[in-house]
A and B are shown apart, each in its own frame.
Chain A
Amino acid sequence: MKTIVRVLSAVSVPWLVASIALAASAPVKDAGTAFAPCNTCHEDLTKAFAANPHARLVAASCANCHGDGAKHAAEGEKSLISVPKGAAGAKTCLTCHGRTKTFTHAGSGPHATAAVYCATCHSVHAAAGNVALLRAASGAECAPCHPAQAREFAKPFAHHLGRAGLTCYSCHNPHGGSGERALKESIAGELPCLTCHPDKRGPFVFQHVNGVTGNCLSCHEPHGSNNPKRLIRPRIDQLCLECHTTVPTGNLGSMPPSSHDLRLPRYQNCTICHTAVHGSNSSPMLLK
């Protein structure tokens, strides 16, 4: 394996650099013929569109989305061309894009009811700029409408939004979904947290929360928190005791802790002893 990697390194890297330099000096494709006669009046639009992912479709033409534009071309009247906007525009996009599970709730999801449609976030004609033709990169398009959530990422213990590709849609499906908050579940129907934290997945012989009595969000803030480890409480004992206390309720988990003296720091930190707090295979008390 090492030899293969070395040989490929010696060949491919100079080859790639030389090719990019060659490609960079080549003229950009003239979009004129592909999008005539629209390019006569919409030159900038069609030029950008030539590098757009839509343009690589074999039958790509303006008419695919705008319908027959012959009358509009002849008379120049704006009302004679169909411009997909709003809910009707979304239907046009979903003709091709509505094929996968990702888009099955696009019509009735929370964005649709808030009058947020495809073109609100995507720049349909743009040259290949941001991933998925987004108008802004790395979730910045979400912040204007969700400022409270965006500000949570400015808290001291937060996921690093915007760094190296971590975006809102790493965890959320902006096109809607069947679950709460349109979370982007894994292929096994799990919360997206487990994609990056698979060691918390289980199943464990002795479960703690773990998708049955709650989930990751029972104890953690997903975006950012004032508390270490993005916990919802600053002290671990406070977090644990809100469920596990001897006050007699009929609730699950209202089991008594031992008579630990919470005035001592060691007992304010339940996880010093109950280390396997996400689940254990050998300790019912989650001690290991």
Chain B
Amino acid sequence: MINRHLKLVALLLAMALGTVTASAQSTQFSLGLGYNWLSLTGSEDMYKSQFNARQGFGLQELSLATTNPSDTVIDHLRFDAAGFGSDPEGRFRLRVGLAKVYDLQISYFRARYFNALPTIANPFFGQGITPGQHTQDQVLYNFDMNLELLPGASVTPLIGYSEYHVGGPSITTYHVGQDEFRLNSNLDSTTHETRAGLGFHLGDFQATVIESWRTFHETTNSALAPGAGASNNPDPVLGQNQTLSSASRSDRTDGSYAMTTGSFSAVLSDSTRASGSFVRADYTATFSEGEAFSGNLVSFDVARFFTGLNVSGYSTAHTSNAPDWRGDGRVEFDPTDTVQLSGGFVRSHRTVDGFALISNLYTGSVNYAGLDPRDLAVLLTSNNAMQRDDNTLDAKIVVRKLGPVRLWADVAHTDQDLTVAEDVAEIVVPGGQGGYFHRSIKRYSAGAALTFSTFKLGVDWKEDSSPQSIVRIDFRDVKRWKARADWTAAKLFRLVATAEWITGDNPTPDVYYDLKTKHIGADLDITPVKPLALRLGYGRFKTDTSAFYRVPQDFTLASSLYGENGIQKEASATLKLARFLIDGGYSKFSNTGSVGLELDHTYAHCDFDFTAKLGASLQYDRYKYIDDVFTLSSFDAKRYGVFLRWRQ
């Protein structure tokens, strides 16, 4: 549907474009079209999961900007598009309007998602079988339109519409009968959003109020993948072979959401400003699901024992609600030219609540509960209610023009309250499933910036501390240091160096969560002569985290360790002569932490102008990925492109 709407909108706009450009007083236009070739060796799945660029025609650029202040329908228009075709992403943006009458902005985005990774959801990874059993080849469309009427007037009506679509095939697994089976699946998810509101521009007071309505429809249809009936695990369970002769599953979600958004800013005096925003969203979703399986299975559903089970039917109906709101306000006050004081608050609330009515229909099974085994309905209301409230207050002081130095300091306090209903599983193993949790966080931060001629030095420090953690990976203490130096010497070079250290921990005796990470990097841009620009970059990062956990198979205590230790190097050169531009470079990324890998990128792009209006581009990109752990994932992809360009 979105594509059909899009074609209609595009063609109507093309006619409008034609009308306005024909009489335009100023027009800039560029179009680059061409063809890409792809040469790939190694893992195609991994290449597509990381890049997904293909062979074929592609749009390098399409840009049109035109103004005509004397036109009475469209006095400004700008259109930009790139991608599509062989590129996995494509986008266009259009802005068109008439001063004081209307301003229309339209954008469209399309992206292909591909995922087939050897280590994700792969029960056979140890046997060297790839890819994993969760793969996707899906497409996302996103269309967005905003119209402002009477821009610049005291009251401006605002109208908007958005449409999002995600869909396409995937392979997934399904757990039934104490085993998992591969299913072919197809997703079709569409979101429509309509907005209407008003903008207020009354002297020093500006405000916007928008009411939005969103609907969400999603269907997923799945069926047993060919040859997957024997399950992933050939071993019998409780003496029963697990097989499926057929499986089908479909679900549908319908959601509706009403949202209210408001914001304001006001200049209260020459030295005082206030601003704030509010958003409230009421989500309601209904969900239905049906599935039918035939085969021999074992089930522990609802903690009862079945043997020789033939599951022939299953249906569910659910609803869930999630009213959310968030508000914030801030006041900025400048007592002098050099000092700014500001304070603000943020409050937010989120509730999620729902229930599920699940009907199971079993045949040919035995249970020991005395129930009719063919029709069993379970109403679940547990572990589906959560509520969270956050309150944050902060105060900040900025001291400017203290000689060449600027200083700032900020203090903030956050209270988090979380209530979670207990899970059914709590009956079996108590603890950790629900309850009331509170966390208060104090944050102190400060920074200084020194500006001396063309040299700048900045240092930031921030520390968060809390006596509580809600989940195990909540830090009790986090410290961050950042430093940045920037030196520009005439037009000859610019050197930027940065460093960042972060440490965090949760020293609770049975958690011992610990994090240390640091980045350092430097970039040097050199322009020895005007047509030539050289760039060198170096970055190094190191991360180590650890956390206690219990090994499920033997209940021993162990540490979950994760490390990254990487280097990034890059060098590039750009030479621009009268009608000729060449841009080439090389970058290397390597990691020797928990995951050993290398990713090299080599590129050379060459532009040549045949005339002032007509030119051509030659492009070469090579991505070489080396996976040290699972070498079958490595690939070497070379992409060549030839483009013709017309500029006006």
- Give residues in A with beta carbon < 8 Å to B: 1, 4-5, 8-9, 11-13, 15-16, 18-20, 22-24, 26, 28-29, 50-51, 53, 55-58, 87, 98-101, 103-105, 107-108, 112-115, 127-128, 131, 144-145, 147-148, 151, 154-157, 160, 163-166, 178-179, 185, 187-190, 195-199, 201-207, 210-214, 218, 226-229, 232-236, 238, 241-243, 245-269, 271-273, 275, 281-282, 284-285, 287-288
Contacts and interface: CB of A to CB of B under 8 A. Distances in A.
A-B pairs with the 5 shortest C-beta distances?
Answer: A164-B83, A101-B263, A266-B123, A203-B322, A104-B275
B550 A245 contact: yes
B330 interface: yes
A154 B601 CA distance: 9
B373 interface: no
Contacts of A241: 549, 552, 560
Contacts of B121: 236, 269, 271-272
Contact of A282 (B78, B325, B356): B356
B7 A20 contact: no
Contact of A4 (B8, B122, B125, B257): B8
From DSSP, what is the main secondary structure of chain A's interface residues? loop
A212 B83 CA distance: 37
Nearest to B508: A249
Contacts of A271: 120-121, 134
Nearest to A60: B69
A37 to B, nearest CB: 20
Nearest to B594: A234
A281 B255 CA distance: 13
B384 A207 contact: yes
A55 B68 CA distance: 10
Interface residues of chain B: helix, strand, loop or mixed (majority): strand
Interface string B371-400: 000000000101110111000000010101
A199 B125 contact: no
B210 interface: yes
B356 A205 contact: yes
A250 B438 CA distance: 12
Interface centre among B119, B471, B648 (most CB of A within 10 A): B471
A109 to B, nearest CB: 10
B99 A56 contact: yes
A163 B564 CA distance: 27
A252 B358 contact: no
Interface residues of B, number: 204
B80 interface: yes
A177 B264 CA distance: 13
Interface stretch (B313-321, B362-370, B614-622): B313-321
A172 to B, nearest CB: 17
Contacts of A9: 11
A251 B470 CA distance: 5
A164 B425 contact: no
Q: Which of B11, B350, B555 has the most CB of A within 10 A?
A: B11
B155 interface: no
Nearest to A154: B589
A147 to B, nearest CB: 5
A105 B322 CA distance: 28
A19 B19 contact: yes
Interface in B452-471: 456, 458, 469-471
A187 B212 contact: yes
